[in-house]
Amino acid sequence: MDYNLESIKLHAKHKGKIQVTPKIEVRSKEDLSMVYSPGVAGPCLEIEKNPEAVYDLTIKGNTVAIVSDGSAVLGLGNIGPLAAIPVMEGKAMLFKRFAGIDAFPICVDSQDADKIIETVKMIAPVFGGVNLEDISAPRSFIIENALQDLGIPVFHDDQHGTAIVVLAALINASKVVKKPIREMRIIVNGAGAAGIAIAKLLKSADHVDEEDVITAKEVIMCDSKGIIHKNREDLNDAKKEMIQYTNPNNEEGSLKDAMHNADVFIGVSVGEILSQVDIRNMAESPIVFALANPTPEIWPGDAYEAGAVVVGTGRSDMPNQINNVLGFPGIFRGALDARAVRITPKMKLAAAFAIADCIEYPFSKMVIPPSLNFDVASKVAAAVKKAAEEDSTAYNKK
């Protein structure tokens, strides 16, 4: 099947994928007087008197803005806000299907970080959370950091959602290969938003409470020019920051050099950059998460043939699909239910463990739940809500 062509037909038939549906039918003057003038003055005045009532009297407590500038759409690059709308509509559908959340695409006609920040601040009153999506690094870091005191959770899913689901898969993969994460040498290839978030989470760079820490023995980050080390003079600020958390021995060289004796490869980069020789150069019982889409860094069959024990990709037609849909619906559901003002490191780790726990007996071809497992979101939501309620920083407002 030509999915692109069939998808165009589907979108044309329905004129998009989402719509606004009223919860209350208006069939009489009394109905109209209740939902609009004059009765609507009641909830308006109640909210004016008690702003927290907005969560009980409006859609705010169950609504997420999906904000994008279309600058880094998965597999498509910088296609702009108009062309990004179908992706954001699709994400809105997933929010609703998996977690019952009403989400709406907000595609901003600017790639200026300050303008996007100001836009989100101005539209925030109607939303209970903000999902930043497909915004290129390093602007994505700047935008997310600037919005953490907005009073509602702001979460860049391409960063943290990916990192959380990767960690969940790695937790179970470590059980399969019988090697704890704290003993692993991990290569992260791709120093964009996802790669940096993965590396930080694996090194507990978010300063999680000690009892919750998962810290890999060693994380080496690579970009298109090879290993990121302190002697390089071509690093942007985001990559310079990563030197604090990665490459403790200041190794230099190419990705292929980094692969020697690595326990884990995590690719969020480009397709077909690894060979079977690279897998054979890894440590015993290697784990390979080749997440470039649609073409992984190495095809699973080749990786298994070269000795990999666990292989995951971002593709739905292969085992161990590492897909953000396992994370973001439940994460936002839990955050909204807790009325948290931000998503904290403790909440992220709770989500990762909840996803991992959905597989009672992990094995090589099943270290992560299937993307269409509709039980995952509710389990993640419960874990995130509990973590938020235990974490005072989830509620501290500026």
DSSP string, 104-122: EEEE-S---HHHHHHHHHH
Q: Is 293 annotated as a binding residue?
A: yes
Q: Tell me which residue of 321, 141, 137 sits closest to 223, measured CA to CA.
A: 137
- Burial tier of 212 (Cβ tally within 10 Å: 0-12, 13-18, 19+): middle
Q: Which helix (H) or strand (E) holds 265?
A: strand 264-267
DSSP string, 21-38: --SS---SHHHHHHHSTT
Q: Is 183 annotated as a binding residue?
A: no
**Buried b vs exposed e over 276-300: b needs ≥16 C-beta within 10 Å?**
eebbebbbeebbbbbbbeeebbbbb
Task: Identify whether 91 is a catalytic site residue.
Answer: yes
Angle in degrees, 0-180, between the axes of helices 193-202 and 139-146, rounded to the nearest 10: 60
Q: Tell me which residue of 260, 388, 292 sits closest to 335, measured CA to CA.
A: 388
Catalytically annotated residue among 49, 60, 91, 365: 91
- CA torsion 334-266-279-213 (nearest 10°) is -70
Q: Is 158 annotated as a binding residue?
A: yes
Whether the Cβ atoms of residue 177 and residue 310 lie closer than 8 Å to each other:
yes
N- to C-terminal Cα distance for the chain? 52
Q: Measuring CA to CA, how many Å separate 20 from each of 59, 62, 64? A: 12, 14, 14
Q: Is 133 annotated as a binding residue?
A: yes
d(CA 391, CA 208): 11
At a CB cut-off of 8 Å and minimum separation 6, what does 392 contact? none
Q: Is 157 annotated as a binding residue?
A: no
Q: Measuring CA to CA, how many Å separate 250 from each of 82, 102, 240, 243, 245? A: 43, 46, 13, 9, 11
136: region left, alpha or beta (phi > 0 left; psi from -120 to 50 alpha)? beta
Catalytically annotated residue among 9, 36, 115, 240: 36
Q: Which helix (H) or strand (E) holds 227?
A: strand 226-227
**Residues carrying an active site annotation:** 36, 91
Residues flagged as binding site for (S)-malate: 293, 323
Residues flagged as binding site for a divalent metal cation: 133-134, 158
Residues flagged as binding site: 133-134, 158, 293, 323
